[in-house]
Amino acid sequence: MSKFTLKQSEITKNIQNVKAFMQDNNLDAFYVSSFDPFLNEYVPMDDCQRYYVTGFNGSVAETLFYKDEKVRLYVDGRYHEQADLQVDLNEVEVVKVAQNQSITSAMLNDVKKLKPSNIGIESARTSLKHFEELKDLTKVESFNGDIDKVIQSNANKEYNPIKHIEAKYRGPNTKEKLERINLNSDEAYFVSAIDSVSWISNCRGYHLPHLSSILAKGLVLKDRVVLFKDDSIELDASVAENKEVEFHSLDKMESILSDLHKQYSLSEVKYQSSMLNANDYQILLSVFTNSVLKSDANGLIPFQSIKTADELQVIEDSFERSNRAVFNTIKWVKESMAKGESISERDIYNTTTKMYQAEGAVEQSFNTISGAGANGSIMHYGDPKADRKIVTEDMILLDSGGYYEGGFATDKTRTFMASDVEGTAKHKEIYTLVLKGTLGLQNAIFPEGTTGAHIDALARTPMYRFGYDFAHGTGHGVGIHVHESGVRISSKSTQPMLAGQVVSIEPGIYIPGFGGVRLENIACVEKHPEFEGFLRFRNFTWIGFEPLLIDENLLNEQEKTWLKEYEAECKKRGTSFIN
């Protein structure tokens, strides 16, 4: 949980300062990014420019200043309720983007309608892809570091040393990964996505909260990986074990890239425009000609998202430990309530961390969500309250994950009753409908080549029949980061599901003022052992469901069988709540 907060008066001052900056530079509009220079999803609030000008602390949002109007904050369905609660609605307009549209496209549509004569950006915090989209609509003015000064950023820049992971905790070595990528001697990838950098180098640094990755970028060549980092980041002695990876100062990136260009006679350097900031692209242009630079939408993700058997074993072992951590947290809540002890949302949050640490976790893979009662309807409820005491009839949503020695993320969600009191009819209805969606999808069998959009409906259909839906995707990839590209289950996903990918299955129902249910399992996509040309899921999450919230009358015979089989496996592992 972020300890960095701003007073509303400070946010108001920052808004005024950005508007004054716009006026001084004759700008009609200004785009304020949520990202750092590595374009990370989870940026600490003390380094997130968007937080300084809105007060919204969700992981993803877009922010647009336009002349003298309110600041526009674009959020997806996960944050519709949270954003309203966190911003000053007199100064910030929350634009609630529908599930079938991206927040970026919604903002671009507004830019197209508003027709500003120009728009300012911080080029080091704006992806090349987004820069080019804006450039198609209006004149773009690039600034670097100026907004940090205007809003008086207080980012902490102290980092852990970079360490090389032991073979037993990470699978193939860098040489084997390079052979799999199979570049020609005159080809290279410029990689700035830090999970991809960490994957190819087999290094971890935990340089940002809830991320095991390292803050570095660089060139992946046929036979080696050349990375660049800030001089303040030290190298652990273990890094020397990896002969295929070398580190240099970020300040020397341009000159060393130039030397490598000559040494390898590079004819093609690929880059991922969505994960390359516009400033770095200018550096690449100064070294390589336009004919050498080639945009690649996926970068290293096609290799990274397909896990080897060794990687899957490490990941599965991590989930086994996380399963116990979550089960023991829920058990602690129920036992505490049975004893008549006073516990709060914050106590659950803190106990979850302790239970992960007891299993050997070195970090949480995201900010734990522990929402009781009505707070469970806030999908990414990141501010558990010490004064929100748990009562016996509370339904609680707990979403958590951790990192272990290998630095692969875990993720799982369970919704449960705080005590031995059964849920109300409404609680049971929404819980059982979500359960039907989770069971239906995780037991799916589907042809190779099936996209995430094609199987998304398996999770939603049971709740459609009762008039419910949820405003987020059904599944995301999981890897070194808890959200990994390459696989997605949603109504918009055109990506085919591939054997070896690890993905979440997490339908939900959220009713503001009442509560929310999400039941999230993580599974590996694998070839079906009997049916040639078909795929299925192999489950990694084994935590029993809440019997006090299940309405058996809403389950069909197949679902009852699936539930019985799942609970039997959980019972075998000691993680079922059924006696």
Please check whether residues 90 and 212 belong to one and the same domain: no
Q: CA 461 from chain center: how many Å?
A: 25
Per DSSP, what are the bridge partners of residue 446?
535
Residue showing tokens 């692209």: 281
Render pLDDT for 472-525 as a digit per residue (tens, 0 to 9).
Answer: 999 999 999 999 999 999 999 999 999 999 999 999 999 999 999 999 999 999
In a domain, 396, yes or no: yes
Compute the distance between CA of residue 413 and CA of residue 222 in angstroms, rounded to an integer: 41
Domain range enclosing 69: 8-150
CB within 8 A of 410, min separation 6: which ones?
315, 318, 319, 321, 322, 365, 401, 402, 403, 404, 478, 482, 522
Looking at residue 575, the DSSP 8-state letter turns out to be: -
Q: Which residues pair with 223 in a beta bridge?
A: none
Specify whether 313 is located in the same domain as 300.
Answer: no
252: left (phi over 0), alpha (psi -120 to 50) or beta: alpha
pLDDT in tens, 513-531: 999 999 999 999 999 999 9
Cα–Cα distances (Å) from 156 to 44, 45, 193, 209, 241, in that order, read 9, 10, 21, 11, 30
- Going by C-beta distance under 8 Å and a sequence separation of 6 or more, which residues neighbour residue 259? none
The verdict on 297 and 319 lying in the same domain is no
Contacts with 163 (C-beta within 8 Å, 6 or more apart), sequence order: 203, 204, 205, 236, 238, 239
Residue 579 lies in a domain: no
pLDDT of residue 94: 98
Tell me if 578 is assigned to some domain: no
Same-domain pairing of 462 and 526: yes
Report yes or no: 276 and 128 within 8 Å, Cβ to Cβ.
Answer: yes
Reported as half-sphere exposure (CB side, CA atoms, 13 A), residue 186 has a value of 7
Q: Where residue 41 falls among pLDDT bands split at 50, 70, 90? A: confident
Average pLDDT over residues 367-389: 95
- Residues of the chain above pLDDT 70, percent: 100
Mean pLDDT (whole number) for 115-132: 96
Tell me the whole-structure pTM to 2 decimals.
Answer: 0.93
Give 476's strand partners.
Answer: 488
Shared-domain flag, residues 248 and 330: no
**Looking at the domain assignment, is residue 158 inside a domain?**
no
Query: How many structural domains are present in the chain?
Result: 3
User: Is position 15 within any domain?
Assistant: yes
Would you call 199 helix, strand, or coil by DSSP? helix
Phi, then psi, of 288 in degrees rounded to 5: -110, 145
pLDDT tens for each residue of 75-84? 999 999 999 9
Residue 156 lies in a domain: no
Do 126 and 171 belong to one domain?
no
pLDDT tens, residue by residue, 161-189: 999 999 999 999 999 999 999 999 999 99
Q: How confident is the model at residue 196 (pLDDT cuts 50, 70, 90)?
A: very high
Handedness of CA 192, 194, 200, 206 (dihedral sign): positive
CA dihedral of residues 532, 537, 540, 541 (deg, nearest 10): -150
The answer to whether residues 511 and 538 belong to one domain is yes
Are residues 192 and 146 part of one domain?
no
Give yes or no: residues 351 and 453 share one domain. yes
319-354 pLDDT tens trace = 999 999 999 999 999 999 999 999 999 999 999 999
What gap in Å lies between CA 304 and CA 278, rounded to an integer? 24
* pLDDT at residue 2 tops 60: no
Distance of alpha carbon 531 from the chain centroid: 33
Which of 150, 175, 207 is the C-terminal boundary of a domain? 150
pLDDT at 1: 53
Single residue among 116, 150, 184 that ends a domain in this structure:
150
- Residue 385 within any structural domain of the chain: yes
Strand partners, 293: 269
**Residue 262 sits in the same domain as residue 188:** yes
Average confidence (pLDDT) over 250-271: 98
pLDDT digits (tens, 9 = 90+) for 393-450: 999 999 999 999 999 999 999 999 999 999 999 999 999 999 999 999 999 999 999 9
Domain termination site, one of 263, 286, 304: 304
DSSP 413: E
Name the DSSP class of 347.
H
Query: 552, exposed or middle or buried, with CB in 10 Å at 0-12, 13-18, 19+?
Result: exposed
- Of 475, 450, 435, which is closest to residue 531 (Cα–Cα)? 450
Q: Rounded distance, CA 73 to CA 97, Å?
A: 10
On whether both 298 and 320 belong to a single domain, the answer is: no
CB of 517 closer than 8 Å to CB of 431: yes
Strands (DSSP E) along 313-411, which ranges? Answer: 363-364, 369-372, 395-400, 402-403
Query: Looking at residue 399, which CATH number applies to its domain?
Result: 3.90.230.10
User: Based on the domain organization, do 83 and 70 belong to the same domain?
Assistant: yes
